[in-house]
Amino acid sequence: CESFGHDLETGAPYSKEAYSGMNPAGRAILKSCHYFEPMEGTDETYPFRLSTGRNVFHFHTRTKTGRAKSLQKACPEPEGAVSAAIILFWFQTPPHAIPVEAPLKEKILHMDPLGTALIMAATISFLLAFQYGGVEHAWDSSVVIGLIVGFVLMAIAFGVLQWYQGERSMIAPRLIKDRTLYISSIYMFFYAGAYFTLIYYLPIYFQSVDNQSPTQSGVRNLPLIIGVTIATVSSGISITMYGHYTPILVVSAAVSTVAAGLIYTLDIGSGSGEWIGYQALAGLSWGASFQIPM
């Protein structure tokens, strides 16, 4: 599945014939851009000029597809130089961001190499289990069961390790006790689950149900991309100006539920007004709050 896009991935020429679960031969994925609001922290912590450089960089690198050569030609490589120039000439390290002097061993321990290895292995086991299950191996096969058991054991080991290491851990235990952080994590768990289900299956719908090419499938997803981009920028500006994010989270969750229900009604031969309007509403609702918990 050759593709370069984070905004637009339609590298699935065989999805009509070979789609099955997470099988790469049947994948057609659209990932909407959501890098247009300041990164973690306030605008004083990360100046707008740094955010601008990051945004230009991501916009440059994430609007290509490996299969759609015409889109590659429309996004030439030199655009990346714009972001490099912005960061090089405008970025100033914040005064409080002075690195603390520490021995090399301490720096390595703070990188939590064991925790990183555990979480990576657990994630791979989880993905392989659900990729193999019902496709290459039966769900009750030793391979799938072993992968699931391995995932659970490594996840438990990761949690114990994080608690034992304290401030050296990848996820400091004190962060889990922070109400804002754990509520945001729970919100994002359900919110992102619905979001990625949508962006995974919409291209499949366009290709398999409406008999569109991978390129046309990506074009038909533009209403979602544009909606997410506009909403992300708007919510970022709103939070910067007024400092309130809770109302955006509540309204976005409600509207995205309605939008998901409307998209569920898409059928064979649904008109352009339906798939454009429903995607636009979904993009605006998901984009408005997708980055807030992060």
Burial of residue 133, with CB atoms counted within 10 A of its CB: 0-12 exposed, 13-18 middle, 19 or more buried:
buried
The CA dihedral of 58, 230, 293, 122, to the nearest 10 degrees, is -50
Give the separation between CA 230 and CA 233, rounded to whole angstroms: 5
Q: What is the C-alpha end-to-end distance of the chain, expressed in Å?
A: 29
Which residue from 61, 96, 110 is spatially nearest to 82, judged by alpha carbons?
61
**CB within 8 A of 278, min separation 6: which ones?**
259, 262, 263, 266
Give the separation between CA 128 and CA 148, rounded to whole angstroms: 9
Which residue from 204, 200, 222 is spatially nearest to 212, judged by alpha carbons?
204
The CA dihedral of 151, 157, 163, 165, to the nearest 10 degrees, is -120
- Identify the H or E element spanning 89: helix 80-90
Which residues sit opposite 137 in a β-bridge? Answer: 133
pLDDT in tens, the chain (294 residues): 333 333 333 333 333 333 344 333 333 333 333 333 333 444 444 444 344 443 444 444 443 444 444 444 445 455 567 777 887 788 777 777 777 777 888 888 888 889 999 999 999 999 999 999 988 899 999 999 999 999 999 999 999 998 888 888 888 888 878 888 888 888 888 888 888 888 888 888 888 888 888 888 888 889 998 999 999 999 888 888 888 888 899 999 999 999 999 999 988 888 889 999 999 999 999 988 888 877
| ∠ Cα 165 171 173 (to 5°) | 65
Which residue from 50, 134, 53 is spatially nearest to 94, judged by alpha carbons?
50
Sequence ranges of the domains in the chain: 15-96+176-289, 113-163
